[in-house]
Structure 1
Amino acid sequence: MIDLMSKPTAVNYTPHIALSAQWKVEADPAYKVVRAPQSEDFQIAVRTLSGQGQIRLRDQSDYLLEQNSLLLISRNQIARYFCSGNTWKFHWFEFQSSLPLAPYQNQLHTMEISAEEFRNINDCFAILGLNTAYSSLRASSIFAVLLTYWLDRIHSPQNADQSRLESLIGNTLQDLSVQHTVRELARLSQMSERSFRDKFSRYTGFSPKQYLEKRKLDSALDLLATTHLPIKEIAGMLGFADPYYFSRFIARQAGLSPEAFRRKANPVQPSGDPAARIDVT
């Protein structure tokens, strides 16, 4: 008899990418959209297939989007956008991502659209529109392929500091069970502590402490919601030697204790015959 079990002893962080909406637009000169700020911000990717459009930001700066262009930007930066030529054919993606996109945002990138990319764009649009139980997950998976494909192809100048930060995030910081000090991370990045804090914050949008706490929180909530692992074990997997400190951390960040969050994520279903519980009076 063979009885095998596999489970992680440490948590490797997987970036979160979730596509919330996709628009396929064929605009004419009458096309004009004004955007008001929203309480919840999203990341935007605009991929222009042909024609010409323009996006104006709240700081009054403009982007002219032409064939084969890609723009990554935060939604709440956008004041208005419109067709600035005879036509503007584009796909507009709204998504959330834990990837460090700051180095790629607010600049126009031009790259030819390959047949495979075009197929993925259309598949993503078709699947998201199915509105089935798993269509959003499937579309997000395809969009993750698109987004990482774009990032790989962007030809932006990359200095040594940015390369070292990417290596640090992609390798050293993947194992969340290991504790790191800013001094150690700065040394690994070959920077002073002050320079490391400043460049890390510009690259990720978070201080080193905030970045690690966010990753640990995301992983903790996922493990609490999707596994039956003991809370003490989850704490250890995320580098918390004291499970009570871990509980206080979750309560402070999520507003619920680990036990309460797990109950909320997995409500107990009533037992018995469902038909017998229907009130027909």
Structure 2
Amino acid sequence: MAKLKDGFQGECAIVLPGSVVQQMETDPFCRNLHVTDIGYYPNAKYHFRERKEPISQYILIYCTRGSGWYQLGGGQKWLVGSDQLFVLPADKPHAYGADPRDPWTIYWVHFKGDMAATFAEGFSRPFSIPCGDDSRISTRLEIFEEIYRTLKNGYSSDNLNYSAAALYYFLGTIKYLGKYRESHETQKSEHDIVETAVHFMRENLGKKLTLADIAQHVNYSPSHFSAVFSKRTGYAPVNYFNQLKIQQACTYLDFTDMKISQICPKLGIDDPYYFSRLFTKHMGMSPSDYKKYKKG
């Protein structure tokens, strides 16, 4: 079977130079916690990595779609599914890879520092982060992407310091998951079914949700839910979900230099040509024309 370390369509990755990492290791602000490598691999078929010689970084892998596995040394092999993450400890041999039939989509980051072990503690086994009314998954991924974008803009002191501060927040949303969710908890005693459904859609923009998936989340039959949702919004649920995907695509086009091949996996779309047709249908222009369109 083929095995790949990287080279996946739509991937994003940054490996910080050794000299920059050494600079952060002695910097009063960054030495407690800092990034050494960061990236995103969508639908990473044949992804495989084995390190017989251990490295000094901790590695967090956050699976948002598909499935995979990992193993420490010659120990137990753990299976990882959608909405699960794990942290590989520093200084230990390991291996990990994507499931060949249902390859994972992963956000990953290598991190070091005096506080790294504290944030890694308790995550050696697969840790689930299921979607809920106050899960804030999309916010967590926005923080990850902000770290990536900051480092992509270079390794100035301000960029390194800000990425370190953002890494604290990102890892804190996992380490203190309950508090992260409680801080955004709604004050309503009962959630509105449509608001709950839209929140579920936003939390899962990178997936291919069906009407049945959304209806199941709000405990309605598909037909009843569709009727209620359409009456309230004027749109069928799946059409509304596609609108949210295109809205997010516009954000990527407006504020990043991501290519279509990189945007599509983040929206759960495998075919760039289908994405272009869907975008044109909703926006009245192609993605490339939208990118050129003067706004504001």
Q: TM-score range by the shorter chain?
A: 0.3 to 0.5
More strand by share: 1
What is the TM-score when the length of structure 1 is the normalising length? 0.45
